[in-house]
Structure 1
Amino acid sequence: MAVYTDVSDEELSSFVAAYDIGMPLSFKGIAEGVENTNYLLHAEGGRFILTLYEKRTKSEDLPFFLGLMRHLASKGVRCPMPIVDRQGESLKRLAGRPAAMMSFLDGVSVRRPSAEQCATVGAALAALHEASADYELARPNAMSVMAWRPLIAAVGERADEVALGLAEDIEDEMAFLERHWPSDLPRGVIHADLFPNNVLFIGKQVSGLIDFYFAANDAYAYDLAICLNAWCFEADHFSLNITKARALVESYSKIRPLADAEKAAFPLLSRGAAMRFLATRLYDWINTPPGALVKRLDPVEYWRKNRFHRRMMSPADYGL
């Protein structure tokens, strides 16, 4: 569930009155997502997504996120466009929360992507990286390698409540990743969370990329590794579908060719990308109290993926 903050009729009417979109016709919460509160607003001027930013999204980061979406949309990337009010402002407050209204994108997310859909996602990610290259704002990646150990330390031995032996295994893996993590790969603005629920399709074509609230400056190839983990594994989370993986990376490379250093680092980046989501999922799994509205995601899925990548020694194993 992703409706954490209720909006009264009076608050909604006052908020909408600041925009040139006419009267609200319908207003309902959107269940998908785990970070912020989202509503679908149907007004006389069309359909919009109204987002209220909860505590896990820092207010000081919002100008970066909203500006990035405007920048990408202006370059032809299919992503939400922040709507401005009559004063030219896109970031406002509603029900005690920072809030913004976005253009609505048609399309549906897929649960079991095909190889063809993986290919279109690879092309869309490369186009995003190309379009963001001249974005003037910057934001360090707060969820890169240096952020994982504090999350793991906060869990400690309780990791074994999730899977026996997990605590020791994560400690060994973190030590390896910290020693070998690359720092000299091509960098720019990345999405950092391009999971299937953040991509919309009409048929087999991408109709929209959404949820840019982990976007930051980091290695482009790391973003591709995040996608591979999210899109190209079988349902057991321990077997890579090489057809999907090759479709993803080959389509990406046709638009933004990977440097030799990026190819060489890809097994390590994929391993680290799995650790990133293992760490955050594990932290939430242990620390989220019963009855909380935040939906917990299974950390074992990404432990299995991380262990898979440890066996991969060559970029050729990923279609590179």
Structure 2
Amino acid sequence: MAVFTPVSLEQLSDWLKHFPLGTATSIKGISSGIENSNFFIGTERGEYVLTLFEKLHIEQLPFYLELMRHLAERGIPVPAPVANDKGAIVSLLNDKPAAIVSKLEGQSQLDPQPVHCAALGDMLARMHLAAKDFKILQPNLRGLAWWLETTPTVLPFLPAELGRLLADEVQYQKDFAATADYRALPRGPVHADLFRNNAMFVGERLSGIFDFYFAGCDTWLFDLAVTVNDWCVDLDTGVLDLARTEAMLAAYRAVRPFSEAERIAWQPMLRAAALRFWLSRLYDFYMPRAAEMLTPHDPTHFERILRLRIAETPPALS
């Protein structure tokens, strides 16, 4: 969500003529994140979010945007894409694929308590079930195939001990993905990036989930593990907070009970979720891209979390 491609109010106004939103009144870049160029925009019809996609190809975008529309139509509080006068929800702006979605109310909860984690666990389970009949298939583009492809690029930059940790964990995940337990895990479209800054609250009420641009088809348990590894940890140490973790798992389980395969796979999936973000942060750190307002993330945070998930037995799913 850093700004790689600036957009002026004049450029937005010209592009917005093709949408049923009236005249553009304001545009402001969003500084968090590192993948796309995002802006808050004001129009005569209200406030929206504009995204210019910096890395995703235009043929990939229907998965993300149609998934958001699919979920919104089923009562999941997510941003709804806005179609232009030709019915398209993706079109070019400044030579980049771009989309407008509705803006959620509230603000991110950066110091979540068990009540917030419970609300998120409940909605995550509902979101998984609501997406079961989504027809477009696309793999998680930051899943195992990407880990195998990216690890050799990152390894030359790492000291020997970190390199061994990374290589060993990728091999562990490759081996686990070949097991019957892994193949038995329920799966479907997942958010895959549901961090604290990708959900909105009004008080204790979850008002929405957004930023689906890392979504893909993967195991539901991986999606839950990604979420737990951010919402339920002490950010200074990476240690799981028991009260927050149990609140999220109990709320999720009340909507969608866990299978035996998921109980077996819980620790490997927590490790997988930590690996995914450690590796992506290593890649972004050593292969940086220029952008206005870009704030890179610290790779050591998820290195620490991965070491903990390997060493410790997590709270049980049931």
TM-score, normalised by the number of residues in structure 2: 0.94
Q: What CA distance in whole angstroms lies between the structure 2 residues aligned with 1:115 and 1:194?
A: 16
* Equivalent residue, structure 1, for 2:76: 77
**Per-residue deviation, residues 65-123 of structure 1 (Å, max 9, x unmatched):** 11101100000010000011222221111111111111111111122211111111111
* Equivalent residue, structure 1, for 2:301: 301
Q: What CA distance in whole angstroms lies between the structure 1 residues aligned with 2:86 and 2:165?
A: 54
SS of 2:131's equivalent?
A: helix
Q: What CA distance in whole angstroms lies between the structure 2 residues aligned with 1:268 and 1:262?
A: 10
Structure 1 segments unaligned to the other structure (5+ residues): none
Preserved CA contact (<8 Å) 1:245 1:319: no
The total of aligned residue pairs comes to: 314
Q: What CA distance in whole angstroms lies between the structure 2 residues aligned with 1:289 and 1:92?
A: 24
**Per-residue deviation, residues 250-299 of structure 1 (Å, max 9, x unmatched):** 10111111111111110111011111111111111122168886432111
Shift in CA distance, 129/293, structure 1 to aligned 2, threshold 3 Å: same
Cα distance, 1:8 vs. partner?
Answer: 3.2
* Equivalent residue, structure 1, for 2:227: 227
Cα distance, 1:238 vs. partner?
Answer: 3.4
* Equivalent residue, structure 2, for 1:12: 12
Judge which range, 261-270 or 304-313, deviates more.
304-313
Q: What CA distance in whole angstroms lies between the structure 2 residues aligned with 1:170 and 1:255?
A: 35
User: Percent same amino acid among aligned pairs?
Assistant: 36
- For residues 149-298 of structure 1, the aligned pairs below 5 Å read 149-160=148-159, 165-181=161-177, 182-288=182-288, 294-298=294-298
Preserved CA contact (<8 Å) 1:288 1:294: no
SS of 1:59's equivalent?
A: coil
SS of 1:134's equivalent?
A: coil
Q: What CA distance in whole angstroms lies between the structure 2 residues aligned with 1:68 and 1:227?
A: 19
SS of 1:60's equivalent?
A: coil
Preserved CA contact (<8 Å) 1:40 1:50: yes
Are 2:97 and 1:98 aligned?
yes
Structure 2 segments unaligned to the other structure (5+ residues): none
* Equivalent residue, structure 1, for 2:117: 118
Preserved CA contact (<8 Å) 2:3 2:292: no
TM-score, normalised by the number of residues in structure 1: 0.93
Q: What CA distance in whole angstroms lies between the structure 2 residues aligned with 1:188 and 1:94?
A: 31
Cα distance, 1:37 vs. partner?
Answer: 1.0
Preserved CA contact (<8 Å) 2:2 2:33: yes
Cα distance, 1:156 vs. partner?
Answer: 1.5
Preserved CA contact (<8 Å) 1:159 1:282: no
**Per-residue deviation, residues 32-81 of structure 1 (Å, max 9, x unmatched):** 22211111111111111111111x22222101111101100000010000
The residue type paired with residue 35 of structure 2 is E
**Per-residue deviation, residues 141-181 of structure 1 (Å, max 9, x unmatched):** 12112321322210114222xxx721122222222221123
SS of 1:99's equivalent?
A: strand
Q: What CA distance in whole angstroms lies between the structure 1 residues aligned with 2:175 and 2:127?
A: 30
Preserved CA contact (<8 Å) 2:2 2:291: no
Preserved CA contact (<8 Å) 1:24 1:44: yes
The residue type paired with residue 244 of structure 1 is R
Preserved CA contact (<8 Å) 1:245 1:318: no
The residue type paired with residue 245 of structure 2 is A
Judge which range, 145-154 or 40-49, deviates more.
145-154
Preserved CA contact (<8 Å) 1:35 1:57: no
* Equivalent residue, structure 1, for 2:62: 63
Q: What CA distance in whole angstroms lies between the structure 2 residues aligned with 1:221 and 1:2?
A: 29
Shift in CA distance, 59/294, structure 1 to aligned 2, threshold 3 Å: farther
SS of 1:250's equivalent?
A: helix
The residue type paired with residue 169 of structure 1 is L
Q: What CA distance in whole angstroms lies between the structure 2 residues aligned with 1:168 and 1:249?
A: 32
Shift in CA distance, 31/290, structure 1 to aligned 2, threshold 3 Å: closer
